[in-house]
Structure 1
Amino acid sequence: MGAVFSNPEREKGMLSENLGGGPMGLGDPDDLTLRKAEKEIVIPQKMKAKAKKGKCAEQVKEFGICAKEAGLLLPFKCRKQAKQMHICLSAAYADQAFIDECTQEYLKERSEYRRTGVKQKMKKSEGVMI
């Protein structure tokens, strides 16, 4: 005899009840709770990428130029640039407004993914390809 589920239209999957469901079966798009992995891994990765491209772009560029010129002597010749980049990135990671901004961006992207089933990068590439 088959298994009996509380919702006969939806078989029980690997995701817990609060992570499954939604229009695409990817979770509730309006759920704003964060899992531990999202808080500790995903959002800090987003912050790192955004800080390197935005807040600390100049320091990252200077370090990149120095690294390219120094080659194997990078640890010795680029200490000043590395320190400036580290100070800038550390300040960005400690800025609560920046943390909140990245968290809200992530939640918006996750909600859109749960609503449509299309990841953010895929949407951007679709816009380019006509």
Structure 2
Amino acid sequence: MEAANAEEIHLRHVETDVLIPKMMREKAKERCAEKVEAFNYCCKESGFFMVFKCREENAALKECLTIHYKDPEFFELCKKEYIQEKVEFERTGIPTKNRKQKLPTSM
């Protein structure tokens, strides 16, 4: 039943062209974490020379991210997750980031 509801939800232009791609970028960075870390480490170690010294790490990171950005299945996966978050927000009125936050240990 939920899958049918997800298919019926109309997404606005800004959702399909901005918000879902933003989610894709965040998730792609998680999936390419090793390449992100290697590039960041190289940049820290190279200082001003990072443009020259980190070309290989930069190319590997771009390739990893691009694979995800161009994957239609990855888009659909992110779209479904976005729709679930949207439906949950409409139901509860609480944004996802607030629902996922942990309660403080001391009050």
Aligned to 1:62: 38
Aligned to 2:67: 91
More displaced stretch, 29-38 vs 83-92: 29-38
Instruction: Structure 1 unaligned segments of length 5 or more: list them.
Output: 1-28
Superposed CA RMSD in Å reads: 1.6
Residues 1:33 and 2:10 are matched in the alignment: yes
Deviation at residue 113 of structure 1 after TM alignment: 0.5
CA distance in 2: counterparts of 1:34 and 1:75, whole angstroms:
40
Aligned to 1:22: none
Aligned to 1:48: 25
TM-score (norm 2): 0.86
Deviation at residue 97 of structure 1 after TM alignment: 1.0
CA distance in 1: counterparts of 2:15 and 2:55, whole angstroms:
33
Q: Percent identity?
A: 37
Number of residue pairs aligned between Structure 1 and Structure 2: 100
Deviation at residue 90 of structure 1 after TM alignment: 0.5
CA distance in 2: counterparts of 1:50 and 1:58, whole angstroms:
13
More helix by share: 2
SS of the residue corresponding to residue 128 of structure 1 reads: coil
Q: Which has the larger radius of gyration?
A: 1
Deviation at residue 73 of structure 1 after TM alignment: 1.3
More displaced stretch, 31-40 vs 116-125: 31-40
CA distance in 2: counterparts of 1:53 and 1:128, whole angstroms:
24
Aligned to 1:10: none
SS of the residue corresponding to residue 33 of structure 1 reads: coil
Alignment counterpart, residue 71 of structure 1, candidates 44, 47, 52:
47
Aligned to 1:129: 104
